[in-house]
Amino acid sequence: MRTCFIKERGLALIWSIILISIVAGVLFVVVSLVILGLKNSNAGVRRLSALDVAEAGINYYLWHLVHSPDDYCDGNPCVGSPPYGPFVHNYTDNTGKVIGTYTLWVAPPEITQGGKVIICHVPPPVDETLTVAPSAVAAHLAHGDYFGPCGGGGASGGGKVVVESRGDVADGNENRTIIATLGVPSFAQYAVVANDTTNHLRFGEGTEVFGPVHNNGGVRFDGVAHGLVTSAMANYNDPDHSGPNEPGVHTHRPDPSQVFLGGTSFPVPPVDFNQVTADLADIKEKAQPPDGLYYGPSGASGYHIVLQTAPIHSFDIYRVNSTTGSCWTGNQYKWQDKNTINSQTKIGNDVLFPNNGLIFVEDNLWIDGQIDDAQLTIAAATLPESTDRSIFINSDLEYTNLDGSDKLGLIAQKDISVGLNSEGTLPTQPGYNDDSKELKIHAALLAQKGRVGRNYYNEDCSSTYYRRNIVTVYGSIGTNKRYGFAYTDGTGYQTRNLTYDQNLSVVPPPLFPTIGNYSILDWKEK
């Protein structure tokens, strides 16, 4: 009996030891997992903190540029070649405790494009154009690479500053890096932006707009708006009909959700059109040879530029000797200029695009043709102001590429107009085909004091041209007065397609007029 009892006690002890070992092992695993989780959690917190610190660096330099727009060296003398940096700052909490540091590299506009720095990498046997982060430039230059694309031509960031910010936390090894493009938004950030607080904006049925729309006055939209529609007015008296005031943005269609696909917002701050005068003066100054092209008063009706892809980056230019005059359209619109060329004389053949992409014409301008891998801004104005100048587009004005490599900005002191004898053949008319049925305008358009659109023409002006088929604007429209290519009696263009060129939001055409102060245009983590 005693032997049996001892054996049972021994077995119980063994099982107790085994059970304790299992429990201890499980507890060890659980505790290890908890500790690992805490470590990972702390590491995750530090990674988030590092991102916060990096963002603080971007926000700091945004503030710095708002107060010192041309300072790319953080308040220090610029030493060496751009990009400049590193500039190191402590980041503290509200008690003054240092949480970490952000380190900045700043690339000025002349060496940037698309949020990075353009360099020519020269490994044998073939040079290669690269875009690299600002912090990587020093190593490339030490290797023998140089700024700009291989083969020359320079780099243009369209006034955009690229800032790289690395955030390091004080209590760990974690760091994260953000690269941001900072710039002053341009008029080209809108599909349509207007300043009409008298007649306001009206988009009729048959108008489809892709991209943001804004008016400092009211907006009535009866077509389809794929982007956000905004107004600087809370409500207004729509002059197109009687009745009480209506909301700053509204429609007369029964279901607004089928109209405002991108939403509405009003009132919002107005857009300042007055600053365009200073921008035109700057363009005129910088368009002087040898870097730009300047054409003084023609002594006739103006100039006609035909953009060409063969030879590439060139144009022909004509002096417009006379136009076809005007026509009577009735008591409401009276005499309307036809804005159509009658005779012209060629004064320049295969003129090369200027190095800085700026052409200034001190007269009226007719323009059409096509560009390929080019970025131009063409302005028509008289400065100092005496006679306001306009731009006319009667035939296709096209890009070869819609990927952002082609950009054209047109700035008129007065109007940007489509004339009477313009493309857009109706199906019932002779010569109708896929090309003739549509007037294509690929450009960022800005009419400083006048409007973008087409004059009112009735059948007495021309039984063929008073009604047109399709007009498509790919780019943006900035207009001081009410825009419009059609009228409520069915004259003008029957279909109006306005598509915003998204590439204009980050890099607009050269020296295209801007709105407001520096802001963050885009950013991404490196």
DSSP 120: E
198 lies in a domain?
A: no
Q: Are residues 164 and 276 in the same domain?
A: no
The 3-state DSSP class for residue 487 equals: coil
**Strands in 480-509 per DSSP E:** 492-500
pLDDT the model gives residue 40: 45
DSSP state of 216: S
Residue 92 lies inside a defined structural domain of this protein: yes
Position 309 in a domain: yes
279 strand-pairing partners:
none
Kindly list the averaged pLDDT for each block of 10 residues, start to end, along the chain of length 526. Answer: 54 72 67 50 59 92 88 89 89 88 88 64 70 73 65 48 91 85 84 94 90 95 95 95 94 95 95 84 94 96 97 96 96 94 98 95 98 95 91 98 92 97 96 95 96 96 96 96 93 93 82 84 82
- DSSP state for residue 57 in the 8-state scheme: H
Place of tokens 């230059």: 141
Q: How far, in Å, CA of 290 to CA of 43, rounded?
A: 57
Note whether 276 and 156 are same-domain residues: no
**Residue 36, pLDDT score:** 47
Identify the CA nearest to 203 among candidates 445, 479, 458, 427.
Answer: 479
Residues 364, 507 share a domain:
yes
What does residue 59 show for φ and ψ, rounded to 5 degrees?
A: -65, -35
Q: Are 391 and 419 in contact (CB under 8 A)?
A: no
Contact 252, 220 (CB under 8 A): yes
Residue 215, domain member (yes or no): no
Taking a C-beta distance cutoff of 8 angstroms, is the pair 268, 214 a contact?
Answer: yes
Asked if residue 446 lies in contact with residue 411, where contact means CB atoms within 8 angstroms, the answer is yes
Query: In whole angstroms, what is the distance from residue 350 CA to residue 307 CA?
Result: 9
CB-based contact 231:266 (threshold 8 Å)? yes
* pLDDT for the residue 293: 97
Sequence-separated (6 or more) residues with CB below 8 Å from residue 24? none
What domain range includes position 321? Answer: 272-515
416-418 and 397-399 beta bridge pairing: unpaired
CA distance 312 to 373: 9
User: Where a domain ends, among 119, 151, 183?
Assistant: 183
Contact 133, 117 (CB under 8 A): yes
Q: Is residue 350 part of a domain?
A: yes
CA–CA dist 226, 203 (Å, integer) = 13
Whether residue 230 is contained in a domain is answered as no
- The contacts of residue 43 (CB under 8 Å, 6+ apart) are 172, 174
Do 152 and 279 sit in the same domain of this protein? no
pLDDT the model gives residue 41: 44
319 and 441 in a common domain? yes
217 in any annotated domain: no
DSSP strand pairing (326-328 vs 335-337): antiparallel
Nearest alpha carbon to residue 472 among 393, 377, 379, 375:
393
Q: What is the pLDDT of residue 30?
A: 58
**How many independent structural domains does the chain possess?**
2
Last-in-domain residue among 183, 200, 222: 183
**Structural domain includes residue 238:** no
Are residue 321 and residue 441 in the same domain, yes or no?
yes
Q: Are residues 364 and 492 in the same domain?
A: yes
Residues 178 and 277 in one domain: no
User: Of the candidates 163, 183, 203, which is a domain's last residue?
Assistant: 183
Closest C-alpha to 471, from 457, 453, 489: 453
Q: Are residues 468 and 342 in the same domain?
A: yes
The reply to whether 498 and 351 lie within a common domain is yes
What is the rounded distance in angstroms from the CA atom of residue 252 to the CA atom of residue 254? 6
Residue 199 to residue 238: CA distance in whole angstroms: 8
Which amino acid would we find at residue 509? Answer: P
Distance from chain centroid for Cα 368: 22
What 3-state DSSP class applies to 50?
helix
* Cβ–Cβ under 8 Å, residues 132 and 123: no
Query: Both 159 and 277 in a single domain?
Result: no
